[in-house]
């Protein structure tokens, strides 16, 4: 069978590493200082969502002036960046670097598609930046996930079409974005990823070949 999968795009938080806890601690500090109730459960709904949209959800409809919104986001980001200093290559989730190596060995192009404006710093601290042929982050497009724009932007950088790429995501907003863009999808973890073509617990529980085979099989059965 002619392999039609030519590239992989990975989300960052929840797929390559787990920065969700740092996002939680940083938002929590801001929320506590401002007397806003914010729980770990609330934080689960911020997965894959931009910083601005996260603040809107944190405020639960409470209106604030734009200059206050900007200063709160800056404060949260400063707290978050302090946590990022702890990141070393050991913070990559299990199996990630082997998976990336395996994928590039068989000639797949590899992209990153993260909503985070800190994605480059994180990927450099993980010492994984050399594994990526293209990095799309929170600065790349105007419309973030669940809009498909970011993944389409990365696909363009990889010189591939969406139907030649598999997107790995841990968040509903990310799976929706990838499906809207016409990508193949692998949903990872415990959040709401049931719409993905293939579902797995994490990267360590799949191999590059099992993912390709599963996608090729679905593709063959729908043509």
Cβ 37 to ligand B16 shortest distance, Å: 18
Task: Kindly state the tokens that stand for 203.
Answer: 């990267």
CA angle 1, 106, 149 (to 5 degrees): 90
Contact residues for ligand B16, defined by CB under 6 A:
11-14, 23, 46-51, 54, 77, 114-118, 138, 171
Concerning whether 18 is annotated as a catalytic residue, the answer is no
Concerning whether 149 is annotated as a catalytic residue, the answer is no
Residue 172 binds what, of Mg ion, ligand B16, none (CB under 5 to 8 Å, by partner type)? Answer: none
Residue 17 binds what, of ligand B16, Mg ion, none (CB under 5 to 8 Å, by partner type)? Answer: none
Task: Kindly state the tokens that stand for 55.
Answer: 């603040």
Cβ 166 to Mg ion shortest distance, Å: 16
Cβ 42 to ligand B16 shortest distance, Å: 11
Instruction: Please say which residue, 171 or 208, places its beta carbon nearer to ligand B16.
Output: 171
> Tokens 């030649």 belong to which residue?
164
Bridge partners for 10 per DSSP: 112, 168
Residue 138 binds what, of Mg ion, ligand B16, none (CB under 5 to 8 Å, by partner type)? Answer: ligand B16
Closest by CA to 90, choosing from 121, 119, 58, 128, is 128
Task: Kindly state the tokens that stand for 19.
Answer: 């920065």
Residue 185 binds what, of Mg ion, ligand B16, none (CB under 5 to 8 Å, by partner type)? Answer: none
Number of other CB atoms surrounding residue 149 within 10 Å: 17
Contact residues for Mg ion, defined by CB under 5 A:
11, 13-14, 48, 170-171
End-to-end CA distance of the chain: 14
Catalytic residue annotation: 11, 13
């Amino acid at each position: 069978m002619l392999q039609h999968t030519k590239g992989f795009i990975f989300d960052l938080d929840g797929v390559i590493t787990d920065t969700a806890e740092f996002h939680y601690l940083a938002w929590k500090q801001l929320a506590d200082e401002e007397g806003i109730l914010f729980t770990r459960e609330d934080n689960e709904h911020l997965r894959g969502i931009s910083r601005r949209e996260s603040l809107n959800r944190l405020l639960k409809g409470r209106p604030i002036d734009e200059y206050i919104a900007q200063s709160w986001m800056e404060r949260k980001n400063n707290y978050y960046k302090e946590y990022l200093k702890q990141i070393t290559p050991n913070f990559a989730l299990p199996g990630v670097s082997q998976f990336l190596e395996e994928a590039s060995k068989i000639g797949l192009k590899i992209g990153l598609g993260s909503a985070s404006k800190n994605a480059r710093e994180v990927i450099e601290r993980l010492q994984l930046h050399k594994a990526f042929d293209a990095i799309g982050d929170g600065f790349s497009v105007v419309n973030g996930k669940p809009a498909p724009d970011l993944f389409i932007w990365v696909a363009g950088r990889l010189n591939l079409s969406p139907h030649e790429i598999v997107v790995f995501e841990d968040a509903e907003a990310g799976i929706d974005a990838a499906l809207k863009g016409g990508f193949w999808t692998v949903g990872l973890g415990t959040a709401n990823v049931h719409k993905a073509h293939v579902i797995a617990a994490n990267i360590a529980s799949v191999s590059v070949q099992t993912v390709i085979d599963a996608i090729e099989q679905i593709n063959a059965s729908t043509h």
